[in-house]
Amino acid sequence: MSKDIQRIKQRFSIIGNSPGLNRAIDIALQVAPTDLSVIITGESGTGKEVFPQIIHSYSARKHGSYIAVNCGAIPEGTIDSELFGHEKGSFTGAMDSRRGYFEVANEGTIFLDEVAELPLSTQVRLLRVLESGEFIRVGSSKPQKTNVRVIAATNINLIQAIQNGKFREDLYYRLNTVPITITPLRERTEDIPLLFRKFASDFAEKYRMPTVNLDDEARRMLVNYKWPGNVRQLKNVTEQISVIEESRLVSATKLLSYLPDYNPTKLPALIAKKIGVSEPSFSNEREILYKILFDMRNDVNDLKKLVHDMLQSDKKDIDIHDEHASLIKSLHKDGIPFMETSKPSGFEQKGFSQDHPDIQDTEEIIEESLSLIDKEVEMIKKALEKYNGKRRQAAQELGISERTLYRKIKEHNID
C-alpha cells in the first residue's frame, strides 16, 4: 500500500485494506488534479460520500467551495431553483432573486448524490452545464457562466434506468468520464472485524462505557453475514450492541438477535448487480458449484416425487383391473354365462380397453369360439376359398397332404 493511500485513510477515517477499497482510493487520487467529471457507483451504505471530498481536497479547487446536494431529498418542483437559482417573481413565493448551487460553487466542486433521482427536465439543464458551462436561472432568459467540477453518485443501475427512459443516455456518458466503483461490504470480509473494532471503540468513548468484544463464534458470524446495508448497517448494529448489551463479551447467540436474516448455511444467493450489470454475480467459483449442486438436488427430489405419484396411480389402476378380471373368472368357473354390456366406471378412462396392449375386451373373449375343430374347419375353408377350390394348392398352403385334406373335408362335411 502506498503512503498516499495510507495518509488518506487516516485523514478521512477510512477503515479497511481490501484491494477494491485501495483501488477506489487510488483512482480518486489520480483523477483529483484534473477537471474531469467523475461518477461514483456503489450500493447504499458503502460510503460513497467520502470520495468526492478526497477528490476535492487533492485538486486545484481545494480552496473553492464544496457543496454536496442530495438530489433525492429535494422536491421536483424546486430542484431547478435549488441548482440554478431563480429570478424574483418567477413563480409563486419567489419574493427575491436567489443564487443556485452552481452559481455559489463557482471555481469549486459540486457533489450530486443520488443523481438518478433528477427529473428529465433538470437532466437537460445539467447536461448544458457540463457541455458549455452555462446555465439559466428559473424565470430568466439570460445565460450565465460557471466553472464548476461535477462529481455524481448513484446506487442504482444507470444502464437499466436509461433503458426504462428515466435517465438520459448523453448525460450518463458525460458524467461517466471517470467511473469509481465502491465494493460492497460482503466482498470486503477481511475489513469487517476492523470496522467493528473501530465502531465499538468510538461508541465506547461516546457513551463512556467499556468497549464491546465478540467471541470467536460471533466473529465468524459477523464475517459470514451478507450485510445488505453495508458499512452503515454494521455501524448501526455495533451501536445497538454497545448500548443494549450488559456483557461486554458478545456471544453468537446474542449477536443473532441483531441479525434476524442471518443464514448460517451460506447457500449461494443470486445478487443482482445494481451498477452497470443486471445479471447475477457470485463472489467465487465455489459458490457457483454449490448453486449447481443445490439445483440438482431439488431436481432429483422433484423426480422422486413424480415417480412415486405415478407408481401410486398405476397401483390403483391395476387393483381395479384385477378385481374386474377375478369376477369374470369366477363367473366362468361356476358355469354362469357372462355377457358384458357395460364396463365399470372409470375402466375406459384408465386405458384398460383397446388402448391397453395386454388386456382384451371381455365381450370379444366370450363370443369367440375356442374349439380346435372349429378353427380347423375355418382354416380349411379359407384355404379352399383362396385357391378357388383347388385342393392340391390348398393342402400345400395348410402344410398337409392332399389325401389328408380330402379326408378332413369328408369328415367335417365341408362343401
The total of structural domains in the chain comes to 4
* Residues 216 and 146 occupy one common structural domain: no
Q: How far is it, in rounded angstroms, from Cα 328 to Cα 363?
A: 11
In a domain, 86, yes or no: yes
Backbone angles phi, psi at 25, to 5 degrees: -65, -40
In this prediction, residue 26 carries a pLDDT of 96
* Residues 57 and 147 occupy one common structural domain: yes
27: three-class secondary structure by DSSP: helix
In this prediction, residue 380 carries a pLDDT of 86
Give the contacts of 271 (CB within 8 A, at least 6 positions apart).
280, 281, 282
Which tens digits make up the pLDDT trace of 288-306?
666 677 677 777 777 777 7
Q: How far is it, in rounded angstroms, from Cα 262 to Cα 57?
A: 39
Q: What number of other Cβ atoms are within 10 A of residue 18's Cβ?
A: 17
In this prediction, residue 281 carries a pLDDT of 44
In a domain, 395, yes or no: yes
Of the three residues 281, 309, 326, the one that is the final residue of a domain is 281
Cβ–Cβ under 8 Å, residues 338 and 366: yes
Q: Between the CA of residue 18 and those of 31, 143, 181, 264, what are the distances in Å?
A: 21, 46, 13, 24
In a domain, 104, yes or no: yes
Which grid cell is 112?
450530486
Of the three residues 130, 162, 183, the one that is the final residue of a domain is 183
CATH number for 395: 1.10.10
* Residues 320 and 395 occupy one common structural domain: no
* Residues 115 and 174 occupy one common structural domain: yes
Q: How far is it, in rounded angstroms, from Cα 142 to Cα 146?
A: 13
In a domain, 147, yes or no: yes
| Residues paired with residue 152 on neighbouring β-strands, in sequence order | 39, 112
Of the three residues 183, 198, 217, the one that is the final residue of a domain is 183
In a domain, 286, yes or no: no
Q: How far is it, in rounded angstroms, from Cα 43 to Cα 183?
A: 8
In a domain, 394, yes or no: yes
Q: Between the CA of residue 363 and those of 317, 338, 359, 375, what are the distances in Å?
A: 20, 8, 12, 19
Which tens digits make up the pLDDT trace of 330-344?
545 445 444 444 444
Give the residues of the chain that fall short of pLDDT 50: 267-283, 327, 331, 333-334, 336-357, 359-366
Helix (H) or strand (E) holding 66: strand 66-70
In this prediction, residue 406 carries a pLDDT of 81
* Residues 59 and 108 occupy one common structural domain: yes
* Residues 29 and 178 occupy one common structural domain: yes
* Residues 213 and 262 occupy one common structural domain: yes
Q: Between the CA of residue 174 and those of 41, 115, 128, 179, what are the distances in Å?
A: 15, 13, 10, 11
Q: How far is it, in rounded angstroms, from Cα 234 to Cα 238?
A: 6
In this prediction, residue 7 carries a pLDDT of 94
Quote the domain boundaries for residue 271: 187-281
Q: How far is it, in rounded angstroms, from Cα 181 to Cα 390?
A: 100
In a domain, 265, yes or no: yes
* Residues 198 and 264 occupy one common structural domain: yes
* Residues 151 and 207 occupy one common structural domain: no
* Residues 169 and 29 occupy one common structural domain: yes
Q: How far is it, in rounded angstroms, from Cα 356 to Cα 365?
A: 15
In a domain, 178, yes or no: yes
* Residues 276 and 343 occupy one common structural domain: no
In this prediction, residue 13 carries a pLDDT of 92
CATH number for 229: 1.10.8.60
* Residues 112 and 67 occupy one common structural domain: yes
Burial call 45-59: b when 16+ CB within 10 Å, e when fewer: bbbbebbbbbbbbbb
